[in-house]
Copies of this chain bind each other. A is one copy, B any other.
């Protein structure tokens, strides 16, 4: 996140130099709103009362309710995809470059809705509204902790469907999301095939969370549950398992990157000139010190249990919870544009190619636009404008 913010600040500086009409693409102030659903029955068969999620909108819904685009967010992300809450915010939403008047996601043309997931891990962020293990269980008056039902991405999609219904949306021109958001995008297309005209999964998980990633994410979870302060999820009002969460978030960040990026950003420089790692256990490499600091900061804004629930939702992802790769895809009617990043070391581009091939074998329209770079998985956020023309063309088809 630190790096992301730095990148965003850098992007702002560049935009300023280029004489852009404002320092960010979507130059409106954005308001976070709350949507409440009285009750949700989960895919796993449990009921959650008083479900709340935050959302923001960019652009205006037309009279027919037919010009909407929905954006679900990535693993550690939020619904803040574009614009700023206040002019003094250091950076705009994560996909601001893509969203705004005249941008590929054109706010002069589309009504864009972006919503927080269930079990969002940034529960301490005042701009995030979510329902999950850190929420108060109305039946007990205490936080759910690990008694909160296990939820899938399809559960978030079902809440988001109720939200867009409430907003008067009758048709989705597209659903577009990155990483975890790509999986919600696929679930949208499979869950509400009549509603979703186009699906644009970015840095996609493909048809199902791949087995290698299942284990990668399992290790993230172990880092949390190994911390004695996690205490089987019962830490609310006590000391939080910050160390375990920091270790997990360090791995999340590292999995989102690539060795080319590490080479050019850090090389083998020590964290402090003259303090060589050969001389002491306290002397770190620059890359280690940066990840340690970033992870410690991330831990402070992350709820440990919500992180575990988010990991579980990722692991459980298989389109429409289907047991095989074909079955869930059969429900999809949308045209699909996969946008993988060629340097992705977490959700490998091979899985986009597999998903495209399976959809085509079912007679559906699916295509790929590959992002090039050495930034890894995160290129789906920072390099998305490479795909700007492809997204624009796909939306006009």
> Closest residue to A350 on the B side, CB-wise?
B259
Interface residues of A in 21-74 (CB under 8 A from B): 43-44
With A222-B250, A247-B226, A291-B218 as given contacts, are A278 and B152 in contact (CB-CB < 8 Å)? Answer: yes
- Give every chain B residue within 8 A of A102 (Cβ-Cβ): none
With an 8 A cutoff between CB atoms, is A266 at the interface? yes
Task: Tell me the smallest distance from the CB of A41 to a CB of chain B, in Å.
Answer: 14
> Closest residue to A243 on the B side, CB-wise?
B226
Interface residues of A, dominant DSSP: helix
Task: Tell me the smallest distance from the CB of A152 to a CB of chain B, in Å.
Answer: 7
With an 8 A cutoff between CB atoms, is A387 at the interface? no
Q: Are A211 and B268 in contact (CB under 8 A)?
A: yes
- Give every chain B residue within 8 A of A150 (Cβ-Cβ): 278-281
With an 8 A cutoff between CB atoms, is A262 at the interface? yes
- Give every chain B residue within 8 A of A216 (Cβ-Cβ): 254
User: Which of A288, A345, A348 is packed against the most chain B CB atoms within 10 Å?
Assistant: A288
Interface residues of A in 330-366 (CB under 8 A from B): 345, 348, 350
> Closest residue to A44 on the B side, CB-wise?
B278
Picked from B43, B250, B267, B277, the residue with its CB within 8 Å of the CB of A278 is B43
Picked from B208, B219, B257, B312, the residue with its CB within 8 Å of the CB of A212 is B257
Q: Are B259 and A348 in contact (CB under 8 A)?
A: yes
- Give every chain B residue within 8 A of A210 (Cβ-Cβ): 259, 262-263
Q: Are B214 and A287 in contact (CB under 8 A)?
A: yes
Cα(A44)–Cα(B280), bound, Å: 10
> Closest residue to A261 on the B side, CB-wise?
B212
With an 8 A cutoff between CB atoms, is A92 at the interface? no
- Give every chain B residue within 8 A of A250 (Cβ-Cβ): 219, 222
- Give every chain B residue within 8 A of A211 (Cβ-Cβ): 259, 262-263, 265-268, 285, 287
Cα(A13)–Cα(B174), bound, Å: 54
- Give every chain B residue within 8 A of A278 (Cβ-Cβ): 43-44, 150, 152, 316, 321
- Give every chain B residue within 8 A of A223 (Cβ-Cβ): 223, 226, 247
Cα(A262)–Cα(B151), bound, Å: 25
Task: Tell me the smallest distance from the CB of A74 to a CB of chain B, in Å.
Answer: 20
Interface residues of A in 241-289 (CB under 8 A from B): 243-244, 247, 250-251, 254, 257-259, 261-263, 265-268, 277-281, 284-285, 287-288
17 more CB-based (< 8 A) A-B contacts, given A215-B287, A223-B223, A226-B227: A43-B278, A211-B259, A211-B287, A212-B259, A214-B285, A215-B254, A215-B285, A215-B291, A218-B285, A218-B287, A218-B291, A219-B250, A226-B243, A277-B312, A277-B316, A278-B321, A285-B315
What are 28 A-B contacts defined by CB distance under 8 Å? A43-B278, A44-B279, A146-B281, A210-B262, A210-B263, A211-B285, A211-B287, A212-B257, A212-B261, A212-B287, A213-B259, A214-B268, A214-B287, A214-B288, A215-B254, A215-B287, A216-B254, A218-B284, A219-B251, A223-B247, A226-B226, A226-B243, A226-B244, A228-B228, A259-B350, A268-B318, A277-B312, A281-B312
Interface residues, chain A, with chain B CB atoms under 8 Å away: 43-44, 146, 150, 152, 208-216, 218-219, 222-223, 226-228, 243-244, 247, 250-251, 254, 257-259, 261-263, 265-268, 277-281, 284-285, 287-288, 291, 312, 315-316, 318, 321, 345, 348, 350
* The 7 A-B residue pairs with the shortest CB-CB distance in the complex, in nearest-first order: A212-B259, A212-B262, A211-B262, A218-B288, A215-B287, A211-B266, A211-B287
